[in-house]
A and B are shown apart, each in its own frame.
Chain A
Amino acid sequence: MDKVLMKGNEALCAAAIRGGCQFFFGYPITPQNEIPEYMSRELGRAGGTFLQAESEVAAINMVYGAAGAGARVMTSSSSPGIALKQEGISYICGAELPCVIVNISRGGPGLGGIQPSQADYFQATRGGGNGDYYLLVFAPANIQEAADLMIEAFDLADLYRMPVMILGDGMLGQMMEPVVFKERKPRDLPQKDWATTGTAGKRKPNIINSLRLDPAELENLNIRLQEKYAQLKANEVRYETHQTEDAELVFVAYGTSSRIVKNAVAVMRANGLKAGLIRPITLWPFPEQAFEELPDSLRALMSVELSHGQMIDDVKIAARGRWPVGFYGRSGGMIFTQQEIVEAGEKLLREVSHVSGV
């Protein structure tokens, strides 16, 4: 397939259709409106169904219904809309149904703003709704990666019977970049023999449900979910490391803002400071392995986020006290420059040197 120039939101849609998306239920909210608009235009042509719901709440419950009936289904929204969907996402996890959820996030809290932000990290990686559950969360840094991950997302959702979230931001959704749509890798996927497709008088009724009034039964579900999450941690963790081999300072950044940090690494290296980058591609499971491969030369880590520090908690867990962990962030749609990152990194290294007396 040829290289095409596409807006991030539209590339996600084109990739979703290539990934086997059959149904889309959504509700308008900026900055993700190109997604429902594209799907309303193209999903029908691809043999699927687009429906604009009356609310985000209804949309995610339509997803719950269609997923339970065995369909490949997705929804998209932006931060406050994703907050509204949390009830349904929790039910979908409780009922162990596959679906894909896109969050083209914006600044908060509340109605917030519409500029790029990474303030939904907690919401995406800590479950978000009630109960003891997680989503598989991908954070693409560019449009090509967004398309690649989306093409795989429906297969992974079906494989693990759980929601997959693509967490982007307004920058990823709105900018245009060249993208090549790759063929979906064939996978052995389990039959959906649990789906409510009608018994046809040939089997016992299937029940899609998250209610378990018997505590032992509910605990068993939770144990099964934890086993699934352990498999994800073993098999699905993805990350990129950039110039960490000899680094004294390693930044940790994800999504579009990691591209600014990557530029800052180049500037620091040109100035003679050995900087590097760990870029989580899966935010959950968090790539703790990446921190086991860091060199002895490392003196500090720095979490860099478009928020006031959410991923830093996971960075500290992964660091296990071995290195000091600094932070730099902007919020509300304000985006740091590479110079800000360079200065923050240099300042951290000076502080670390002072403390250790080097």
Chain B
Amino acid sequence: MIDWFAYVQVGVATVAGLLCVVLGLVGRRPSDLTMGALALVEVLLVAQVVVAIAAPAFGNTPTGDPLEFWTYLVSAVLLPVGAGFWALLERSRWSTVVLGVAALAVAVMVYRMLQIWTVQQA
């Protein structure tokens, strides 16, 4: 896992999450902006999958449990997709909030992934 890339992901997901929650609470339905924000989060996650597969070949190996790391990563990849489909099916303001909740959850999960990869006891 690449530190700066992980922080970029956490930052983007946090901003996207807050944006969607705020826009949803003021009554906006899912729009190109909010869906696009989630799409960006998803693209970064897919890039993270590639990084996580390739990194060990370059000597960047996880210090923690790979299974735990991958459980987080697979779950995180599914979240924006699930929230996005939901937003397409039900175009209400609350779907925008759901997009935000998904993005914020991704932010937490990526941070946790970075912890698993870099700082582990034993």
Tell whether A and B belong to one assembly: no
